[in-house]
Structure 1
Amino acid sequence: MHHDKIEHHPLPCRRLGDGELHHFFGYYNKSTWDRTDRYVLTQRVPMADADLHPGLIAEIGFFDTQDDDRFQKVGQTTAWNWQMGAQLQWLDGAPGRQLIYNCRTDDESAFYPCLGAVIHDVASGVSRPLPMPVYVVAPDSRYALCVDYRRLYVTHQTIGYSDEASLRALPQLDLAPASDGIHVMDLATGMSRLIVSYDALRNFHPVPSMDKAIHWVSHIEINPSSSRVLFLHRWTERVEDETCFLHRLITVNPDGTDMRLLECSDHPLPQLAADFDPNAVGTFDYEKSEYQISHPLWKDDTHIIVWGPHAGSIHYHLYEDRADGEVTVIGADVLTENGHMTFSRTHPDWLLSDTYPDAQTNERILFLYHVPSGVRHDIGSFYTSPTLKKENRCDLHPRWSRDGKRVCIDSIHDGNRQMYALDVASLVDPA
């Protein structure tokens, strides 16, 4: 058994774009680069920080890294947030060079009124509307999974979309409706259907803490062959305090069959006591909870990497997607706090991740972890302003290039919200 250790390998960090406006990608769960590693998706905004409202515009486009990072705009949207952007992503399974992002519409009769998505073909310049906003698109680009972002705005505001009514007063939502949940949408036709309802989740291996709680799902991810889905089922009686969130890691087929419970972190909640002061909770305390299940992602078609508790202790855990599947601790001695982790598709021994800001220094660490040797390589440290709120924060959210030789992050260390690329070939492909 190897003993984990940490080595420091600071790598040069290059800002993408001219830096005149602010740029960000959002989440860590997909590649910013297109198949050729030439074009890098981005959202462009005029400010580094703002409280979100439905009128704020983000431009949608990409940097051309073979043309001085020239920004090419393809559209704009008002359906976005700082944490996930507009769920902008390349359609890897579609011909040519196509991308998809969420938008607001005028269709009040849509299942989620006035929210949809757009597929844009870069070569033809043609955009095609879809009747639902996407959460994640299958790697084969045949289907997307969709949820209600207005519900997320109530339960987990950081990843939701507001509307004018919810800005005035948060709506009272059904706790676990049978009519809503995770929908699958065919990207060719726009047809959709419900595959997992909140009511079905509440009745799947139920626990008493679910009875009076509101339910939602997040972190929906599809495996590389597009055959299996993971998600987090979350519930709480107090949405204002994320330390009151309860979590389960669940997998299911894209048609809603064969649902499996891989982990449940149900636990007592003293925070629900009437005399508890939620203002005593720090911005990142929730991310450091010993019961938190977060940031699950497929390593391959049958294994999931996640930060969460199992068998009484919290670690980076690798789950096998089976009812009695093996659970393995990854990096027990050096991966000791929550992060946004992804395995390289081209160099599967390498795990890329980050940390949340240190409470004293406000620095976030970017690192690579080599599973066979147990060595963590810290490749950068990035300051973030402590004045940023939870909803407006700028996590590094590191993402691999397609060839596995570069990493892209969002960062605000120089006061501007920008995207940066680091060349990691010297570590993952040593000569």
Structure 2
Amino acid sequence: MHNLQYDRRDFLAQLLSGVGAVALSHPAFAKAAKFPPTRVITRGPRHHWFGYYDKLQFDPSSRYVLGMEVAFEHRSPRADDVIKIGMVDLQDQDRWIELGESSAWAWQQGCMLQWLPGSDSEIIWNDREDGQFVSRILDVKSGKGRTIPSPIYSVSPDGKTAVTPDFRRIQDVRPGYGYPGFPDPHFKDLAPKDSGIFHVDLETGKTKMILSLDEISRMGTIPKQQKGIKHYFNHLLFSPDGSRFITLHRWQYPNGKRLSRMITARPDGSDVRVVIDNGFVSHFIWRDPSHILAQSKATPESRSWGDFLVRDVTQSKLEEIGKGVLDSGGHLTYLPGNEWILNDTYPKGKDRIQTPHLYHVEKGKRIDLGHFPSPKVYTGEWRVDTHPRFSPDSRYVCIDSPHKNEGRQLHLIDISQIVGTS
């Protein structure tokens, strides 16, 4: 398949033919160009970003866009580094509205900031208090808030429960994803019984461990098993109906390298399935309650990675999607209706260009949404992945990307004419 570029002729032809109306009313939107209209919705001198791609950044009305604000870049956060929590009002000249703060955060995923599913006014994020990690729930309309005595990672679709890994252990093995300040009490234990995945009741605050690292380390076959490998969990995500969740079971070798298996389970930790067991699995997203789109290798011996659709069963068969067109290293989500896949790339070429893009599943065609350079200083732990997130009405995509001399900022891309939501 050839990539379908969204060039000036395509844009003008669709505009003149009346196929959708592009939102050019805002002065910051570029007029007819190679890519769909884009504007930067946060401003320096402070830096703004959101983090991961599988969280609800937009409120249900698609008007308010969550973000985090920090005064520095290009170093690891310390336990006493505080970031501001806020939202951008897209209907009031992109006004930044400060909402709170957090001292439990990382560059790649922030503080797990997100709109609480099922609510049009509540948000949730991680913080620290009295020597432990906690989560805050705030009603942005009333200003009322409450604290849950546990951090969270993924929230169920009904907003009532969450699952979370041990961020202390993640910080030990993968800085940039965990939070500094509290050392892993099981540092010397390669697969502890008292660390793993926890279920959190967001109404009562009750927390219970549902899957331990000891248990998962003894389940099935560990590819390239050897002495001294250190086990941990990362990247959790509830299914669309809340009946199951995904996590990556990862293990780190003494030389720092790591492999992964994709695991699914029920919210109580039962019915554990090792869906992809070859050791090579990365970004993923649920397509529906029974299918997952994930990046892996066709076989452990394959040189290249791909995007594969799998069923939520043990040792699922891998069906490759968009080979050679859909980027095999980006961050994947389905737009509502599953007609389009939203994805991005890591920096490529001498100019280190990142390219968020849409992929039409039935037609097998790709539409690039823009080219965003990432200077070399943005590498390693404090790199800026674009992590594209879509609005509930499928009108917008928001990404994180450096902007001129203002550091990382939020960029809004109008995709309404492409997907037909204008």
Q: TM > 0.5 between the two?
A: yes
**Percent of pairs identical after alignment?**
35
Alignment correspondent of 2:329: 338
2: CA distance, partners of 1:171 / 1:264: 26
2: CA distance, partners of 1:123 / 1:365: 35
2: CA distance, partners of 1:223 / 1:131: 24
One-letter amino acid matched to 2:57: T
Report SS of the residue matched to 1:377. strand
Determine which of 196, 207, 213 is the counterpart of 2:211.
196
Which runs of structure 2 are paired with 1:39-54 in the superposition (5 Å)? Answer: 39-54=64-79
Determine which of 15, 18, 35 is the counterpart of 2:60.
35
Using a 3 Å threshold, how does the CA distance of structure 1 residues 333 and 18 change in structure 2: closer, same or farther? closer
Report SS of the residue matched to 1:331. coil
Report SS of the residue matched to 2:381. coil
Contact 1:407–1:422 (Cα < 8 Å) also in 2 = yes
Distance apart, 1:399 and its partner CA: 0.5
Using a 3 Å threshold, how does the CA distance of structure 1 residues 165 and 138 change in structure 2: closer, same or farther? closer
Cα deviation 1:372-425 (Å, max 9, x = unaligned): 011111121110111223111100000111011210000014242100110111
* 1:6 has 2:3 as partner: yes
One-letter amino acid matched to 1:63: V
Cα deviation 1:47-105 (Å, max 9, x = unaligned): 343321111111011111111121111110111111101100101224x4100000011
One-letter amino acid matched to 1:232: L
Residues 194-203 or 207-216, more deviating: 207-216
Distance apart, 1:324 and its partner CA: 5.8
* 1:294 has 2:294 as partner: no
Alignment correspondent of 1:124: 142
Report SS of the residue matched to 1:71. strand
Point out where structure 2 has 5 or more consecutive residues left out of the alignment.
Answer: 7-34
Alignment correspondent of 1:187: 202
One-letter amino acid matched to 1:358: K
Contact 2:126–2:133 (Cα < 8 Å) also in 1 = yes
Alignment correspondent of 2:228: 212
Report SS of the residue matched to 2:216. helix
2: CA distance, partners of 1:263 / 1:388: 31
Alignment correspondent of 2:238: 222
Alignment correspondent of 1:282: none
Residues 410-419 or 43-52, more deviating: 43-52
* 1:399 has 2:389 as partner: yes
1: CA distance, partners of 2:244 / 2:233: 16
TM-score by length of 1: 0.86
Determine which of 257, 267, 279 is the counterpart of 1:254.
267
Cα deviation 1:306-343 (Å, max 9, x = unaligned): 11113454310111112364432110121353110111
* 1:74 has 2:99 as partner: yes
Determine which of 48, 73, 82 is the counterpart of 1:57.
82
Using a 3 Å threshold, how does the CA distance of structure 1 residues 171 and 253 change in structure 2: closer, same or farther? closer
Cα deviation 1:278-323 (Å, max 9, x = unaligned): xxxxxxxxxxxxx4x1111111211111111134543101111123
CA RMSD after TM alignment: 1.9
Determine which of 121, 124, 127 is the counterpart of 1:100.
124
Contact 2:135–2:148 (Cα < 8 Å) also in 1 = yes
* 1:234 has 2:250 as partner: yes
Using a 3 Å threshold, how does the CA distance of structure 1 residues 226 and 210 change in structure 2: closer, same or farther? farther
Using a 3 Å threshold, how does the CA distance of structure 1 residues 218 and 165 change in structure 2: closer, same or farther? closer
Alignment correspondent of 1:373: 363
Report SS of the residue matched to 2:284. strand
Q: How many residues align?
A: 389
TM-score by length of 2: 0.88
Distance apart, 1:165 and its partner CA: 6.1
Which runs of structure 2 are paired with 1:268-307 in the superposition (5 Å)? Answer: 291=280, 293-307=281-295
Determine which of 262, 265, 276 is the counterpart of 2:278.
265
Runs of 4+ in 1 over 6 A off after TM superposition: none
* 1:422 has 2:413 as partner: yes
* 1:84 has 2:75 as partner: no
One-letter amino acid matched to 2:234: S
* 1:162 has 2:180 as partner: yes
Contact 1:210–1:236 (Cα < 8 Å) also in 2 = no
2: CA distance, partners of 1:178 / 1:32: 34
One-letter amino acid matched to 2:2: K
Point out where structure 1 has 5 or more consecutive residues left out of the alignment.
Answer: 109-113, 267-290
2: CA distance, partners of 1:235 / 1:64: 42
Using a 3 Å threshold, how does the CA distance of structure 1 residues 98 and 152 change in structure 2: closer, same or farther? same
